[in-house]
């Protein structure tokens, strides 16, 4: 049975943290009910997502005895967006987000942390979490990565061609423009269809799109050429050059083999090379494993609970 923060009667304390470059990130902190929490969980959202979408996940962690933090990445949610069109999801390098994560841990989480630190990261957040762990193996005590964005599908454009195009167009000064086929958020996307690549659960699908309908300031459209270049460079680093064997932090890697957003084979390759990782696959799930229908989601949380018991969290 799903548990939300509404069920627990707990609202987050919202705030802001300013990065070294002056970028302001919106933050959230849910206080554990227990006097001695089991640990502290930091939720890392996926691309274009926002704090409110993770209320149900926060509730699950609170119900398990954790203190919970979350934040909006730069260029999404209510965090700073520097471009004249704030819907263009732009990024020059995912190293920037890995640095943001390190700063958030040091400046927001550590002063309030109670017990071991667990990262719970989805999709793009999972990529950034691994990049941050490569920089700083002591960043956290354990991590749960759901459908991490270790590589992406490039639509009708072959991957090698996508790399060439992104590099060439960024070199021509078009990095902050929408990539081909990308555009501002279209409310039609909020209409649930069974063929969507995100989830088979209509109610949880609406969690994201209803917020975009009711709060236009949260909307994020497609990605820029710079974002595509950054994502493909990060994926190639993870696949070919990153010393994943040195990351000995316990990691649970949850994957949907039929994922149509990220390439699930990248999860198998990474799990085989990471120093202390467990891979669990859910063949009937789509990309949003934590937002799936209850029968799938219950199995996902059973995997998480078993992992937490194994690492004594």
Q: Tell me the mean pLDDT in the region 1-5.
A: 51
Listing from the earlier edge strand, what are the strands of the sheet with 142-146? 13-18, 24-30, 66-71, 39-44, 117-122, 142-146, 251-255, 277-281
- Whether 5 has a pLDDT exceeding 60, the answer reads no
What is 5-310's CATH number? Answer: 3.40.50.1820
What are 264-289's pLDDT values in tens digits?
A: 999 999 999 999 999 999 999 999 99
Q: What's the CA gap between 16 and 42, in Å, rounded?
A: 15
The mean per-residue pLDDT over the stretch 195-210 comes to 97
The pLDDT tens digits of the residues spanning 113-159 come to 999 999 999 999 999 999 999 999 999 999 999 999 999 999 899 99
- Separation of alpha carbons 40 and 113, rounded Å: 6
The whole-number pLDDT of residue 9 equals 56
Best CA proximity match to 11, nearest among 27, 31, 35, 34: 31
Q: Is the pLDDT of residue 247 over 50?
A: yes
Between 12-21, 32-41, 179-188, the lowest mean confidence (pLDDT) is in: 32-41
pLDDT digits (tens, 9 = 90+) for 57-70: 999 999 999 999 99
Whether 186 has a pLDDT exceeding 80, the answer reads yes
The percent of residues in the chain predicted with pLDDT above 90, rounded, is 95
pLDDT of residue 3: 53
**Mean pLDDT score of the chain:** 96
Task: Please list, in sequence order, all residues whose beta carbon lies within 8 angstroms of the beta carbon of residue 165, skipping any fewer than 6 positions away.
Answer: 157, 180, 225
pLDDT for 2: 58
Q: Whose structure tokens read 């009708």?
A: 156
42 touches 30 (CB < 8 A): no
DSSP labels, 158-179: -HHHHHHHHHHHHHTT-TTSBP
Q: What is the mean pLDDT of residues 40-46?
A: 98
User: Is residue 262 within 8 Å of 153, Cβ to Cβ?
Assistant: yes
- pLDDT > 70: percent of the chain: 97
Give the pLDDT confidence score for residue 7 in this predicted structure: 58
Distance between CA atoms of residues 65 and 34, nearest Å: 7
């Amino acid at each position: 049975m799903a548990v939300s923060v509404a069920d627990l009667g707990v609202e987050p304390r919202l705030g802001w943290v300013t990065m070294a470059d002056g970028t302001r990130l919106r933050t959230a902190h849910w206080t554990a009910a227990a006097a001695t929490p089991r640990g502290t969980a930091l939720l890392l959202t996926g691309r274009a997502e926002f704090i409110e979408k993770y209320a149900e996940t926060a509730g699950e962690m609170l119900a398990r005895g954790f203190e919970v933090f979350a934040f909006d990445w730069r260029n999404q949610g209510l965090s700073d967006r520097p471009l004249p069109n704030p819907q263009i999801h732009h990024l020059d390098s995912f190293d920037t987000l890995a640095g943001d994560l390190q700063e958030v841990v040091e400046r927001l989480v550590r002063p309030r942390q109670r017990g071991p630190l667990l990262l719970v990261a989805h999709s793009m957040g999972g990529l950034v979490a691994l990049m941050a762990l490569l920089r700083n193996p002591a960043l956290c005590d354990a991590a749960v990565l759901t459908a991490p964005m270790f590589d992406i599908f490039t639509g009708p454009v072959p991957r090698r061609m996508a790399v060439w195009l992104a590099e060439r167009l960024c070199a021509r000064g078009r990095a902050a423009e929408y990539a081909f086929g990308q555009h501002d958020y279209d409310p039609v996307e909020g209409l649930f269809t069974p063929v969507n690549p995100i989830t088979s659960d209509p109610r949880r699908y609406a969690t994201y799109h209803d917020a975009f309908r009711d709060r236009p300031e949260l909307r994020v459209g497609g990605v820029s050429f710079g974002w595509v270049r950054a994502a493909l460079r990060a994926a190639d680093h993870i696949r070919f050059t990153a010393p994943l064997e040195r990351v000995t932090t316990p990691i649970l890697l949850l994957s949907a083999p039929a994922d149509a957003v990220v390439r699930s084979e990248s999860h198998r390759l990474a799990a085989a090379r990471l120093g202390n990782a467990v891979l669990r696959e859910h063949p009937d799930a789509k990309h949003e494993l934590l937002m799936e229908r209850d029968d799938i989601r219950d199995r996902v949380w059973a995997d998480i609970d078993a992992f937490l018991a194994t690492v004594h969290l």
